């Protein structure tokens, strides 16, 4: 199943390139801190999506 929402837009690809360039200038400690922050944000995003799906399912019933 091919879905365009599973791919990055051209703008997102550009943003990734900027992140790569920034990462090359970071120390190992800065990268580790950023990785922890990113992991936390992804978990929060998962929780928000899970909550939205759960609430939507409850409202449909």
Structure confidence by residue, pLDDT tens digits, 17-57: 999 999 999 999 999 999 999 999 999 999 999 998 888 87
So where are the chain's domains? 27-61
pLDDT-based confidence at 60, cuts 50/70/90?
Answer: low
Q: Is the Cβ–Cβ distance between 23 and 16 less than 8 Å?
A: no
Query: Hey, what are 32's tokens?
Result: 């580790």
Task: Determine contact, residues 42/35, Cβ cutoff 8 Å.
Answer: no
Say yes or no to pLDDT of 1 above 60.
no
């Amino acid at each position: 199943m091919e879905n365009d929402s599973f791919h990055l837009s051209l703008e997102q690809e550009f943003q990734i390139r900027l992140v790569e360039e920034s990462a090359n200038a970071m120390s190992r400690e800065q990268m580790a801190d950023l990785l922890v922050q990113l992991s936390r944000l992804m978990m929060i995003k998962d929780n928000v999506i899970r909550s939205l799906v759960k609430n939507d399912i409850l409202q449909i019933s």
